[in-house]
Amino acid sequence: MGNDMEKEQMTTIRQQAKRRFADYTAHYDMAQPKIALKAVHTYHVAELCERIARDIGLNEEDILVAWMCGLLHDIGRFEQIRRFNTFSDADSIDHALLSIQILFGDEEQAGRIREFMPEDDYDELIDTAIRYHSAYRLPENISERQKMFCDILRDADKIDIFRVNLETPMEDIYNTTTEELRNATVTPEVLQAFYEHHAVLRSLKKTPVDHVVGHISLFYELVYPISKRIALEQGYLGRLTEFVSDNPDTQQVFAQIRNELRTGQDV
């Protein structure tokens, strides 16, 4: 990579993709907070993918592909919200698969990927990264290169989830009341997952505050050192751990969580 022509071409692809993404989302109601939130999230994730890809030393073309994965990963969210008015895949539809369907189509319907990526060289890579971006674990039968793009996207997505959780009232994200949130306790299995330093399985979360601990646990899933650095530098994760509870047990749990995180920040 690197001669001017190729650089120019990549700039054009990027600008066009951005425009087309804006055109796509313009068909949805941006006055709806859930829709607006996902549009903002998308641009953040695309930028974060680029930053991670650059830090780990990928070439310009691969950086563009990583950025593209970020731009397109949640394209299915808009339709999910329009149809079901929820982000909960369990209560509606697998939004990652919906993104894949919109981009790559199915037997009856051609996908929209060509509107964003003129050549099909990276289709499989983009498909894989988006398909598994919200999976609890990656499948084992993917190549090292596929895994790398999956990890970049998954890291970027998690980093921005910390921001979203701070900027959106938790009552709205978790469909709960302030009172419930402030009085809730942390389910022991959820806390155990945190101490085992991995993400919390969806099925274990029972109380509103379990979601907060679940989101904090995402820190341990970050693959690349640069991702941990960005997460800490942005400060949203730290603020998540400062969750204010009226329940003495929960207050104690969060003090321990802050302590545990502090000792794990050697990145």
Question: Which chain residues interact with Fe ion by CB under 5 A?
Answer: 74, 134
Closest CA to 216 of 238, 183, 248: 238
For residue 7, what are the contacts with CB-CB under 8 A and spacing of at least 6? 1, 60
The least distance separating Fe ion from the CB of residue 79, rounded to whole angstroms, comes to 13
| Among 66, 93, 79, 69, residue whose Cα is nearest residue 38 | 79
Q: Which is nearer to Fe ion, 62 or 74 (CB)?
A: 74
Tokens read off for 196: 């085992």
Shortest reach from residue 108's CB to Fe ion, in Å: 24
Is residue 62 within 8 A of residue 153, CB to CB? The reply is: no
Distance (Å, rounded) from C-alpha 95 to C-alpha 222? 21
* CB nearer Fe ion, residue 100 or residue 186: 100
Q: How far is the CB of 113 from Fe ion (least distance, A)?
A: 17
Give whichever of 156 and 216 is closer to Fe ion, judged by the CB atom.
Answer: 156
Nearer to Fe ion, 134 or 247 (CB): 134
Report in angstroms how near the CB of residue 132 gets to Fe ion at its nearest: 11
Task: Compute how many other C-beta atoms are within 10 angstroms of the C-beta atom of residue 157.
Answer: 21
Report how far residue 202's alpha carbon sits from residue 101's, in angstroms, rounded to the nearest whole number.
24
Rounded CA-CA distance 169/40 in Å is: 16
How near is the Cβ of 44 to Fe ion at its closest, in Å?
12
Q: Which is nearer to Fe ion, 118 or 139 (CB)?
A: 139
Place of tokens 């104690």: 252
